[in-house]
Amino acid sequence: MTSDNTASPAAREQRGEPLLVAEGLTKHFPITGGFPVRRKVGAVQAVDGVDLTVREGESFGLVGESGCGKSTTGRLLTRLLEPTAGRITYRGQDITHARRRELAPIRSEIQMIFQDPYASLNPRQTVGRIVSGPMEINGVDPAGGRERRVRELLETVGLNPEHYNRFPHEFSGGQRQRIGVARALALEPRIVIADEPVSALDVSIQAQVVNLLQTLRRELGIAFLFIAHDLAVVRHFSQRVAVMYLGRIVEVGGRDDIYRRPRHPYTHALLSAVPEAADLTDEPGTAPRERIRLAGDVPSPILPPSGCRFRTRCWKAREKCATEVPPLIRQDGSGAEHLAACHFPEPPTVERDVEVILDPALRTETEGR
């Protein structure tokens, strides 16, 4: 496969060409039972029909509750998991069911940063060995040798090059995650799947790691798929955002569209839970900020609701929501790239002046709109 890594980061980002595309991506994990013959008795529908596109040099955020399928989606896109159905395309090449030999030329261009900086590093290997490992596996011999390249990478991610011979237990959580970032950069990737890279870190360290990733994206032109459940972090880092619920994407669009003019009720509920500085003020005449509290738990992915999967917790659910799966389409009043999967989308505004308590059994609100 030919590569155009020689193009400047600004030029690659400006083109906005699709880099990694998923169409109808699906992953069902089988559930087996019975004795003595074990047979399939069901399936966990972790990811069910996901469509998304990550462009050259952009930062794309994927958010949602724990268990919604975000991490599974990331592992499918890196081909660490085999898809049940759907299609994955990287730079126009179908890699959905590509074999190991077919994937070899592009493995170096798709890298991953894992969530747990304590479990993702081999405690028996030195930092130099961990970071140089991908180069050894792929037969990469950079100018000046691998050790020199590793020391350069350590300096790039804000670590002392003299830490080359240290072991992971000698570092803090934030430093370990920086080692993981250095490892991901070792092969000069085109896209990095960052699976909740800061969720296991202290808040003060989170900002340092996120700022580091932003700097790398700007200077190296690397595209990022940033998976997280922290909406504030995603807003700071991502240019486009997709919201996921129970294995499906319910809304996708530019950062400002999602955070200022959400259309899907689930996105409204998520955003209402994000604290803001204005919430702490008690200025007279200031209307209380919207609060949406969803009753009940997320349904089981083993037997998800029919139609719209959010309908069991949605205050706008109607009979149509139970019988028809809402398509992910542009809604009236939204931008061309702002899509939502809802039969009865919210108006393009998040302002409400009362607290709303939503009970799916009653489908009522404490106050009217």
- Give the model's confidence band at 113: pLDDT under 50 very low, under 70 low, under 90 confident, else very high: very high
Least reliable range by pLDDT among 23-27, 70-74, 298-302:
298-302
pLDDT, tens digit, 9 for 90 and up, residues 320-347: 999 999 999 998 878 888 999 999 998 8
Q: Is 363 or 135 the better-scoring residue by pLDDT?
A: 135
Residues 6+ apart with CB under 8 A from 141: 135
Task: Give me the chain's average pLDDT, please.
Answer: 85
Cα–Cα distance measured from residue 57 to residue 17, given in angstroms and rounded to the nearest whole number: 9
Cα–Cα distance measured from residue 66 to residue 195, given in angstroms and rounded to the nearest whole number: 12
pLDDT, tens digit, 9 for 90 and up, residues 48-70: 999 999 999 999 999 998 889 99
pLDDT of residue 66: 87
Strand partners, 192: 111, 224
pLDDT, tens digit, 9 for 90 and up, residues 230-286: 888 898 899 999 999 999 999 999 999 998 889 999 998 888 877 665 554 445 544
pLDDT of residue 105: 86
Evaluate if residue 352 carries a pLDDT over 80: no
Evaluate if residue 359 carries a pLDDT over 80: no
- Give the model's confidence band at 363: pLDDT under 50 very low, under 70 low, under 90 confident, else very high: very low
* Residue listed under structure tokens 């955002």: 241
pLDDT of residue 143: 85
pLDDT of residue 14: 53
Evaluate if residue 353 carries a pLDDT over 80: no
pLDDT, tens digit, 9 for 90 and up, residues 183-217: 999 999 999 999 998 887 888 788 888 888 999 99
pLDDT, tens digit, 9 for 90 and up, residues 292-308: 878 778 899 999 999 99
Cα–Cα distance measured from residue 344 to residue 99, given in angstroms and rounded to the nearest whole number: 43
* Residue listed under structure tokens 């669009």: 253
By CB atoms closer than 10 A (0-12, 13-18, 19+), residue 146 is middle
Closest CA to 289 of 352, 368, 347: 352
pLDDT of residue 132: 94
